[in-house]
Amino acid sequence: MGLVSVKDMLDKALKENYAVGHFDVHNLEWVQSVLEAAEELNSPVILGVTEEAIDYFGGFTVAKELVESLMKEKAITVPVALHLDHGSSVENCKSAMDAGFSSVMIDASKLPFDENVKTTKEVVDYAHKLGVTVEAELGSIGGKEGDVISDTPVYADIDECKQLVALTNIDSLAPALGSAHGPYKGEPKVDFKKMKEISESIQIPLVLHGASGLYPEQIKQAILSGTAKFNVNADNHLAFTKRVRQLLDEHYEMYDAAHYIREGRLAVKEMIKMKIRLFGSYGKAT
């Protein structure tokens, strides 16, 4: 099976009360970990690539071909989507789609509302002709978002959510409701009541960015409040770094990078499997 769009995955998840994991990938090892974890747990999965990671890979086409070659080599049978995470411009979203990405996020949330609508609509018009799904954002997620770092997230407005969906025909929406990118400083506080209200008024799947570090109870509550996609990044980095740091501390003589990178990769895969079980998408590939 080739890459699939995110729409069917999320519509099914929303209806059946679970969520699909979006795992940001940065290199070969992360792609291997995500694909293996999803296949072993028979789960649909989304590989997210930020623009920063596109630079690291060496271009949109390199990222797409790496994912597809590994899917073929590993005989992956579960649904896999390749998604541009936080696309900052119409041009970058188009480049991702032209390279074969099956889903994009246009993040025009920093623009005034009217411009967010206009920019998002332009991406949707291009995407839907290609069968590509589009995610948009409203408000501002805490932590590092693009070049902006903020400790005070700006919550999404319900009326703007309704209007954005009606005017652009997006497939999913990431309303900022208190979650943050990167490790949380203190207790994560997410407005689940507002999440449910937004979900009920727009009737499309919601996306929660910054799902690393949320408590299992909060994950459950988010799913019951209309979230069908969780974006995970920080927890995978923390797992990799912890394992490699420990290994190098204990084995001063170790010098072959392949040995400790392999161990780090296993830690990432274990973390992803834990998240897939937590999100409830285990066994939902068919």
# of chain residues touching Zn ion (CB under 5 A): 1
**Shortest approach of Zn ion to residue 24 CB, angstroms?**
8
Scan for tokens 């999100």, then name that residue: 279
CA distance 93 to 99: 10
Residues carrying an active site annotation: 85
**Shortest approach of Zn ion to residue 108 CB, angstroms?**
14
**Shortest approach of Zn ion to residue 257 CB, angstroms?**
29
Which single residue brings its beta carbon nearest to Zn ion?
A: 209
**Shortest approach of Zn ion to residue 209 CB, angstroms?**
3
Nearer to Zn ion, 36 or 137 (CB): 137
Nearer to Zn ion, 194 or 209 (CB): 209
Nearer to Zn ion, 24 or 191 (CB): 24
Nearer to Zn ion, 139 or 220 (CB): 139
Nearer to Zn ion, 209 or 265 (CB): 209
**Shortest approach of Zn ion to residue 94 CB, angstroms?**
20
Site for Zn ion in 171-230 (CB under 5 A): 209
Where along the sequence are the contacts to Zn ion (CB under 5 A)? 209
